[in-house]
Copies of this chain bind each other. A is one copy, B any other.
Amino acid sequence: MSDRAGVYIGVDIGGTKVMAATVSDDGTVGPIARRSTPGRRVEVSLVEDALTEAIEEAATGRPIAGVGIAAAGFVDAEGERVMFAPHLPWRDDPTRSRLEARWRVPVALDNDANCAARAEVALGAAQDASDVLLVTMGTGIGGAVVLGGTLLRGRNGMAGEFGHMQVVPDGRGCECGGEGCWEQYSSGNALVRYARGRMWHESFVGTTLLEELTDGDPDLLTGPLVTTAAERGDRLALQAFDEIGEWLGIGIANLVAAFDPELVVVGGGVSAAGDLLLGPARVALRQSLVGAEHRFIPPIRRAHFGPEAGVVGAAALARSVS
């Protein structure tokens, strides 16, 4: 390691698991230590025990120069507190300072989408850009905004909550309590919902790979299975990607009208499908964007980092503040 004072460790704490690893300054990720997330109804100390175990495993006895934490939740604008996290017990909790006191190393904190954006800007698909929107497509849609090379945090630290922008009046109900949220039409959940709803349609029954891949049980359908089928040319799976890809492009057109960025990066699990998803999105962006004929239209690029984006970005954050 080139770091003088020890290793930098990135930690990603999501709804189901904790991942931690050393990350070198060129983005090389060490062996990943994993723990299960203890859940949101447990004592906060149990979550912190899991984090502590994970970083100790990742450090393998080397001195630690800093730890960055990417949290699946709302982090305040100062990077001090986790205000709310649907799958974790933190509620308006001074997470950063308490972990720093416990571990006696510098700790930095941000939400997972912001950390993924840091990874893409520092070492990934957005290295050449300073005004970037990141859209993460997983179960839902997350997002982050980089302007002039700096992350936009917002008054509450909640900038970039793209998934809950309303795209359909009185549309599909959303877990957030709203209706017609973007992520109800373009996300991993939307992909599976679309494909599942048509598996037994007369034009697909007996012909779609999805039947084979799920042993005929639509409840077993997952996003990765739809991706597999689409990659093999399955018509229903391709239609499902066309559907969520078009909605992705429409939502991106709205964001581009507001932010006018130079680049849009799409990450998250669903982005593994690459151009199956991004192709239809690019067409829809061009069709939907105001003044398309009078402007530079930002490219839509697939993120460089996959599941390790949060770890890499969290470590980059720790390095940048130390």
Which A residues form the contact surface with B (CB < 8 A)? 74, 83-84, 131, 143, 145, 147, 152-169, 176, 178, 181, 250, 253-255, 257-262, 288, 290-291, 294-296, 298
Docked-complex contact A158 and B291, CB < 8 angstroms: yes
Contact partner of A294 (CB less than 8 A), chosen from B83, B145, B166, B261, is B83
Which of B131, B155, B176 lies in contact with A154, CB distance below 8 A? B131
Q: Are B165 and A254 in contact, with the CB atoms below 8 A?
A: yes
State the Cβ distance, A193 to closest chain B Cβ, in Å: 17
Quote the shortest CB–CB distance from A42 to chain B (angstroms): 21
Contact A294 B74 (CB under 8 A): yes
Rounded to whole Å, the gap between the CB of A147 and the closest CB of chain B is: 7
Query: Could you list 15 examples of A-B contacts with CB < 8 Å?
Result: A83-B295, A84-B291, A131-B155, A145-B259, A152-B259, A155-B261, A157-B260, A158-B291, A159-B260, A162-B257, A166-B250, A168-B169, A169-B250, A176-B290, A258-B259
Quick check: A290 and B178 within 8 Å, CB to CB?
yes
18 more contacts with CB within 8 A, not counting A161-B260, A166-B288, A176-B290, are A74-B294, A83-B294, A131-B154, A152-B259, A153-B260, A155-B260, A155-B298, A156-B260, A158-B257, A158-B291, A159-B258, A159-B259, A161-B290, A165-B253, A165-B257, A169-B250, A181-B290, A254-B254
| CA distance in complex: A250, B167 (Å) | 10
Q: How many copies does the complex hold?
A: 2
Expressed in whole angstroms, the Cα–Cα distance for A152 and B294 within the complex equals: 19
- CB within 8 Å for A258 and B161 given contacts A147-B152, A166-B250, A253-B166: yes
A294 shortest CB reach to chain B, Å: 5
B155 contacts A258, CB within 8 Å?
A: no
In the complex, chain B residues whose CB is within 8 Å of the CB of A260:
152-161
Pick the contact of A176: B159, B164, B169, B291 (CB < 8 A): B291
- Complex contacts, A164 vs chain B, CB 8 Å: 257, 290-291
Contact B166 A169 (CB under 8 A): no
Docked CA distance A147–B148 (Å): 11
> What are the residues of chain B within 8 A of A83 when measuring CB–CB?
294-295
Chain B residues whose CB sits within 8 angstroms of the CB of A294 once the complex forms: 74, 83-84
Shortest Cβ distance from residue A293 to the other chain B in the assembled complex, whole angstroms: 9
Question: Which residues of chain B are within 8 angstroms of A163 by Cβ–Cβ distance?
Answer: 290
Instruction: Return the 9 tightest CB-CB contacts between A and B, nearest first.
Output: A154-B260, A164-B290, A159-B260, A165-B254, A155-B262, A156-B295, A161-B257, A158-B260, A84-B294
Residue on B with the closest CB to A174? B290
Closest to A150 in B: B148
User: Distance in Å from the Cβ of A159 to the closest Cβ of chain B?
Assistant: 4
Docked Cα-Cα span, A294 to B82, in Å, equals 11
The verdict on A162 contacting B295 (CB below 8 Å), with A131-B154, A176-B290, A290-B176 known, is no
Chain B nearest CB, measured from A61 CB (Å): 40
Q: Which residues of B contact A162 (CB under 8 A)?
A: 257-258
